């Protein structure tokens, strides 16, 4: 029984100093980015907790802002004549009933009779076909007035996805000219024909424009929600680094401040905001979102694992992050006559373990030899 116990101790000691355990320690240090507090602040590091959420699957489409046809008005003259006064121009905002132009009639008179043309609706003048002194006819439009307080966002939806989109389908709309701000809307109607060249059909969404920042013709990006799943572990898209073949994330170290572990992950589907995580991440992990891209170029950081652990725990550690044992400290103090300032080398540690193992093996052999001699002496006496 004693022999088995001693042998077990020897095996454990040998495994503790085996290349695999040393490699595991090296692996942690290799994948850690350790920053100072100032460096972390300069990179703008922000994390989010990984939690299951409702994940929406989306169809991506592009399109343009267009005026609503039912919110356009034309100004024309009821009589033939010429423009004697013009009070509004392209880009001006007018209210219904404002005087926009004066038309001098061709009927005789001194002075000739005039007619004041007033705005038929409120909005912005988007087109002008008239100049001062220009002849006008009753069948010719003079000005176009458009109400832009509400506009259409018209998407070019791939034909293969059109069947999933019905009235009321929600969408997140981004307009690059507004800096990527998200506008939420719902599907209103589908176009009557398809574009054979692009393989798309038109889909119309209504968006409000109370601050008058949108203009017809602006580019629009659509993320149209076609389905959703609950309890899906996912992360914001900006947390995913590397490439599609080798994606990775940075997880905040549970022990060290301003330390982040580079971890490979397995991805599922993605939408315009989140990416589904199939492996490599656990709920509750703090994952870097802001500053994740910069961490790719930070190497291992400016601090070593030993320095970070020393600062966090208030005492020294080995270079691989392990605790300095009393035997290591005693040996170093005996060799140098001063307190230890650094951990012993791996070779020194290996020799120590090897010496202990040899000593234990010798003890086992001595015990077996002693037992044989004792048994032999007993037989002679008998």
Helix H or strand E encompassing 191: strand 182-195
Q: Please, which residues have CB within 8 angstroms of residue 230's CB and are 6 or more apart in sequence?
A: 52, 54, 55
Q: Are strands 52-66 and 182-195 parallel, antiparallel or unpaired?
A: unpaired
pLDDT at 88: 92
Give the pLDDT confidence score for residue 20 in this predicted structure: 46
CB neighbours of residue 1 within 10 Å: 5
pLDDT of residue 22: 45
Whether the pLDDT of residue 337 is over 60: the answer is: no
**93: its two tokens:** 């905002």
Nearest to 300 by CA among 35, 83, 123: 35
365 confidence band (pLDDT: 50, 70, 90) = confident
CA separation, residue 53 to residues 105, 238, 328, 350 (Å) = 70, 17, 49, 49
* Domains, in order of start, for the chain: 1-34+303-376 (no CATH), 35-52+232-302 (2.40.420.20), 59-67+149-230 (2.40.30.170), 71-146 (2.40.50.100)
- Residue 139 confidence (pLDDT): 86
Length of the chain in terms of residues written: 382
The whole-angstrom separation of Cα 312 and Cα 321 is 12
Q: Does residue 305 carry a pLDDT above 70?
A: no
Phi, psi of 187 (to 5 degrees): -65, 130
Q: pLDDT at position 74, please?
A: 94
Asked if 118 contacts 76 with a C-beta cutoff of 8 angstroms, the reply is no
d(CA 182, CA 169): 16
Residue 292 DSSP one-character state: H
The candidate with the shortest Cα–Cα distance to 81, out of 133, 33, 152, is 133
CA 114 to chain centre: 64
Which of 29-33, 42-46, 375-379 shows the lowest per-residue confidence on average (mean pLDDT)? 375-379
Gyration radius of the chain over CA positions: 40
CB 335 within 8 A of CB 68: no
Which residue did the predictor score with more confidence, 324 or 242?
A: 242
Q: What is the three-class DSSP state of 253? A: coil
- Token pair for 313: 């725990």
84-104 pLDDT, tens digit each: 999 999 999 999 999 999 999
Q: Which helix (H) or strand (E) holds 105?
A: strand 99-105
Nearest alpha-carbon partner for 287 in 255, 242, 248: 248
For residue 357, the 8-state DSSP code is H
pTM of the full structure? 0.67
SS3 189: strand
| SS3 of residue 207 by DSSP | strand
Report whether 101 contacts 120 (CB < 8 A).
no
- Interval 112-118 mean pLDDT: 92
More confident call, 299 vs 161: 161
Residue 54, both tokens: 């409702």
DSSP summary character for residue 300: T
- Phi, psi (5° rounding) for residue 203? -130, 130
Q: Which two structure tokens, joined as six digits, stand for 287?
A: 């994952």
Predicted confidence at residue 352, as pLDDT, reads: 63
Q: Which of 114, 290, 124 is nearest to 209 (CA)?
A: 124
* 84 sits in which H/E element: strand 81-86
Contact 103, 253 (CB under 8 A): no
* Helix/strand/coil percentages in the chain, nearest 5: 30, 40, 35
Q: How far is CA 261 from the centre of its chain?
A: 18
């Amino acid at each position: 029984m004693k022999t088995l116990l001693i042998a077990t101790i020897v095996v454990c000691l040998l495994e503790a100093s085996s290349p695999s355990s040393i490699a595991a320690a090296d692996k942690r240090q290799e994948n850690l980015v350790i920053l100072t507090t100032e460096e972390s602040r300069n990179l703008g590091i922000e994390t989010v907790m990984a939690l299951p959420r409702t994940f929406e699957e989306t169809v991506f489409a592009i399109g343009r802002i267009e005026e609503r046809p039912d919110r356009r008005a034309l100004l024309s003259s009821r009589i033939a004549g010429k423009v004697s006064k013009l009070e509004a121009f392209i880009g001006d905002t007018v209210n219904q009933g404002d005087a926009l132009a004066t038309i001098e009639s061709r009927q005789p008179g001194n002075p000739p009779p005039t007619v004041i043309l007033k705005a038929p609706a409120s909005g912005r003048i988007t087109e002008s076909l008239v100049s001062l002194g220009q002849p006008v006819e009753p069948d010719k439009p003079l000005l176009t007035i458009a109400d832009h307080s509400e506009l259409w966002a018209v998407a070019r939806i791939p034909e293969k996805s059109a069947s999933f989109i019905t009235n009321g389908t929600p969408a997140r709309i981004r307009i690059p000219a507004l800096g990527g701000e998200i506008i939420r809307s719902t599907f209103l109607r589908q176009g009557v024909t398809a574009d054979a060249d692009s393989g798309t059909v038109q889909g119309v969404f209504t968006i409000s424009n109370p601050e008058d920042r949108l203009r017809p013709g602006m580019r629009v990006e659509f993320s149209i929600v076609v389905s959703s799943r609950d309890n899906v572990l996912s992360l914001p898209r900006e947390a995913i680094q590397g490439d599609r073949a080798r994606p990775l994330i940075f997880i905040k170290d549970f022990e060290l401040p301003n330390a982040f572990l580079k971890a490979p992950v397995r991805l599922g589907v993605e939408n315009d905001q989140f990416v589904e995580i199939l492996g490599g991440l656990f709920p509750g992990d703090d994952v870097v979102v802001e500053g994740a891209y910069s961490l790719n170029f930070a190497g291992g950081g400016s601090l070593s694992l030993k320095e970070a652990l020393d600062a966090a725990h208030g005492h020294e550690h080995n270079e691989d992050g392990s605790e300095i044992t009393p035997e290591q400290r005693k040996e170093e103090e005996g060799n140098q006559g001063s307190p230890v300032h650094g951990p012993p080398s791996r070779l020194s540690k290996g020799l120590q373990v090897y010496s202990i193992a040899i000593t234990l093996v010798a003890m086992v052999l001595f015990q077996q030899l002693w037992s044989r001699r004792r048994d032999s002496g007993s037989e002679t006496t008998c």
